Structure 1
Amino acid sequence: MATEHRTLRFESIDAAMAEAERLAAAETRTTGQFSLGQIFEHLARTFEVVLGERTMPPSPLPMRILSRLIRPLVLRKAQTGFKLPSKAQNVLWPSEAVSVEDGLQHLREACEKFKTTDPLPRHVFFGNMTRAQHDALQCRHFEGHLGFVHPVA
């Protein structure tokens, strides 16, 4: 059985953050493995990896080559269900509970640094990318994860 997922599309980081703020202010339920606070924390940690503030374990050469080939697809459409290697999982996802407030505050801070850093460092997985490609990647990333968060009617 497939996990329930909302289809989202963000054209800017600001639109993605507006949805995060909206979800934080509402009663929600999640249909993936993580709470809303953990999702916010994950999105914040991902910004920190992009900024070079958090270190990822090195990817094997075949994975680095594959990543350059699939980059155009990833920039166009949110991908879900991708299982990270355990060392990467430990860097990018919290193992502990994270409150919505704490996760959102961390996400706000990391997002602001991302938006004001220019130029951005070479992406650890996808290599050299333009600002527009970085922004599109983050939008797709938000779409994938926030799609598992459902406002309770």
Structure 2
Amino acid sequence: MNHRSLHFETLNEAMAEAERLAATDVVTTGSYSFGQILDHLGRTIRMGTGEMDPPKVPLLLKLFGPLVRGRIIKGPAKPGFKLPSVLQDYFWSKDDIPVDSAMQQLRAAHQRFASMPTLPRNPMFGALSHEQAEQLQCRHFELHLGFVNEAS
């Protein structure tokens, strides 16, 4: 598995990398297309802002999430974590998504996130400050955009 090591201090930096990649030809390693990855990142932001109703989170994750959130926020996120099927179906499209429409949705989700001084309680990690939520998103972008490479 070819995974780029990325680090973003802000969600604006992460979005700039997504925009850069969307403007060029890319290849992905792993199981998902670039459009699916962008769609996934947008879904997680929309859930985090309350724009999408959160999924039913298994009890074990509800209990475990707040205990590990500090380590996850500080990162780096490591590839290989498999979501329970109920969350997999919520966060990932089975169908390919055109990059331009996924990017448009991601931009809108980012703008909403940036405009909200407080965010709803995260269904997996509990109450997060805006800064903690942003850092969580940064780690998430690092993980998933690391599977996207410019085509050679």
TM-score class normalised by the smaller sequence: over 0.9
Deviation at 1:34, TM superposition (A): 0.6
Q: Any conservation in 2 of the 1:56–1:88 contact (CA below 8 Å)?
A: no
**CA–CA distance in structure 2, aligned partners of residues 32 and 10 of structure 1:** 21
Q: Percent identity?
A: 44
Structure 1 runs (4+) deviating above 3 angstroms are none
RMSD of Structure 2 on Structure 1 (CA)? 1.1
Residue 102 of structure 2 is matched in structure 1 by 103
Alignment of 1:82 with 2:81, yes or no, is yes
Structure 1 window deviating more from structure 2 (52-61 vs 13-22): it is: 52-61
Unaligned runs of 5+ in 1: none
State the one-letter code of the partner of 1:13: L
**CA–CA distance in structure 2, aligned partners of residues 62 and 94 of structure 1:** 24
Q: Normalising by structure 2, what TM-score?
A: 0.94
Q: 2:41 aligns with which of 40, 43, 60?
A: 43
Unaligned runs of 5+ in 2: none
Deviation at 1:52, TM superposition (A): 1.6
Residue 148 of structure 1 is matched in structure 2 by 147
**CA–CA distance in structure 1, aligned partners of residues 3 and 53 of structure 2:** 30
Once the two structures are superposed, residues 32-91 of structure 1 have per-residue CA deviations (whole angstroms, 9 ceiling, x without a partner) of: 111111100000111111112222333233321211111111101123211111111111
Once the two structures are superposed, residues 13-40 of structure 1 have per-residue CA deviations (whole angstroms, 9 ceiling, x without a partner) of: 1000000000001111100111111100
State the one-letter code of the partner of 1:32: G
State the one-letter code of the partner of 2:97: V
Q: Any conservation in 2 of the 1:79–1:140 contact (CA below 8 Å)?
A: no
Q: Normalising by structure 1, what TM-score?
A: 0.94
State the one-letter code of the partner of 1:8: L
Q: Any conservation in 1 of the 2:57–2:87 contact (CA below 8 Å)?
A: no
Residue 12 of structure 1 is matched in structure 2 by 10
